[in-house]
Amino acid sequence: MIKMFEAKNSCNDECLTKTYCISNDGSGVCSENNLVTARFSVIPVFGKYDYLQITLTGYNVASDDAKTIKVSIDKPSFASNIYTCYKSSNGSTGARYDRGAYSLTTGSSDYMDDVLNCTWTFNIGDSIWPLGIDLMKDSLQSVKLHSDSREVAVARDTSQLPIYHAQYVKCCNKVHGDDSFLLAFDQTEKQILYRLYYWKDIMKNELTITLTSKYGIVLQFVCSFRTLDVEGYIGDGNKRFDLDKQIIKPYVYYDDMCSWATPFVLSTIKIGIDASISVFNLQVQVDGRIVYIEKDVRLKNI
């Protein structure tokens, strides 16, 4: 079972989804009378790469009719990634994923009240993720919908998908960053959650987040893309101490993202701070190069 992170703020459906359609008039414009819809949703899972969910729906499907609907994600020079939902004339349903010669029966399917519905939920490590495509970084692939033999191009690229550049995070959270990265903080009842997405430089070794309080206490977190780990430190300007044992659920996915959690109070024998209520100056570095600075940052989603 996929468990979303439980924080004090949550995203609404509009932030988490993008829907494409074939309307009754055969166009790719959504209307009140659609033949087919494909809804792309993000399921955020803290400590993992975000999950993508595709829900494909066909409408006005008679009980004694056979029906096949598809959504495909197509990238030049790659085989199409096709998600197929079908119903036979006797009422049985099925869901399938195809890519070239590869085919896998997978996903859920049902038919009720003249509506055919299929759903696939997966992340980048699963076999039905679009091959050769990083949907968080890359938007060069197109989207097509199929209703039996009818094919409609509904998107020239995937820049509108909520997973692209983690757009869902931008509209659902207080975020920090620019056109190359995104950093978000949130709080549960006992922990601070940190999520960092970076999509500009392919070849990089580490990202460093430095948080300096007005009292001079410095928190520093290093996402290492070499060791796929997160390191933590606390200091007072003169000495620096390890916080590695206070880093909870560290997760690094190659050069795309990293996340981790900490308790509210971060401390050693000699120094400590309640980071949940403190105000910081934020600095972000890529391999030692400063790429972002922001003042008066709180580690919460407001």
Summarised one tens digit per residue, pLDDT across range 50-73 is 899 999 999 999 999 999 999 999
Interval 247-256: pLDDT, tens: 999 999 877 8
The answer to whether residues 23 and 117 belong to one domain is yes
Are residues 97 and 83 in contact, defined by beta-carbon separation less than 8 angstroms?
A: yes
State which H helix or E strand residue 61 sits in.
none
Question: Residue 278's CB: how many other CB atoms inside 10 A?
Answer: 18
Residue-range definition of the domain harbouring residue 210: 174-298
User: Based on the structure, what is the number of domains in the chain?
Assistant: 2
Q: Which of 184, 193, 195 is nearest to 257 (CA)?
A: 195
Half-sphere exposure of 193 (CA within 13 A, CB side): 21
The answer to whether residues 230 and 146 belong to one domain is no
Across the beta sheet with 115-122, the strand order is: 17-23, 34-43, 51-58, 115-122, 108-112
The answer to whether residues 146 and 179 belong to one domain is no
The answer to whether residues 55 and 121 belong to one domain is yes
CA atoms of 253 and 175, how far apart (whole Å) = 20
CA atoms of 69 and 56, how far apart (whole Å) = 8
Which of 139, 164, 189 is at the close of a domain?
Answer: 164
Q: What pTM, to 2 d.p., does this model score?
A: 0.89
Whether 203 is covered by a domain: the verdict is: yes
Whether 4 is covered by a domain: the verdict is: no
The answer to whether residues 156 and 200 belong to one domain is no
| For the chain, percent of residues with pLDDT exceeding 90 | 75
Dihedral of CA atoms 226, 130, 167, 288 in degrees, nearest 10, equals 20
Bridge partners (DSSP) listed for residue 68: 86
| pLDDT of residue 4 exceeding 80 | no
Q: What's the pLDDT score for residue 274?
A: 97
Whether 8 is covered by a domain: the verdict is: no
132 band by pLDDT with thresholds 50, 70 and 90: confident
Q: Which of 173, 202, 172, 163 is nearest to 298 (CA)?
A: 173
Q: What is the DSSP letter of 244?
A: G
Whether 188 is covered by a domain: the verdict is: yes
Q: How high does pLDDT run on average in the chain?
A: 91
The answer to whether residues 199 and 149 belong to one domain is no
Question: How confident is the model over 233-244, as a mean pLDDT?
Answer: 92
Which of 113, 145, 164 is at the close of a domain?
Answer: 164
In total, the chain counts a number of residues equal to 302
The answer to whether residues 131 and 104 belong to one domain is yes
2 band by pLDDT with thresholds 50, 70 and 90: very low
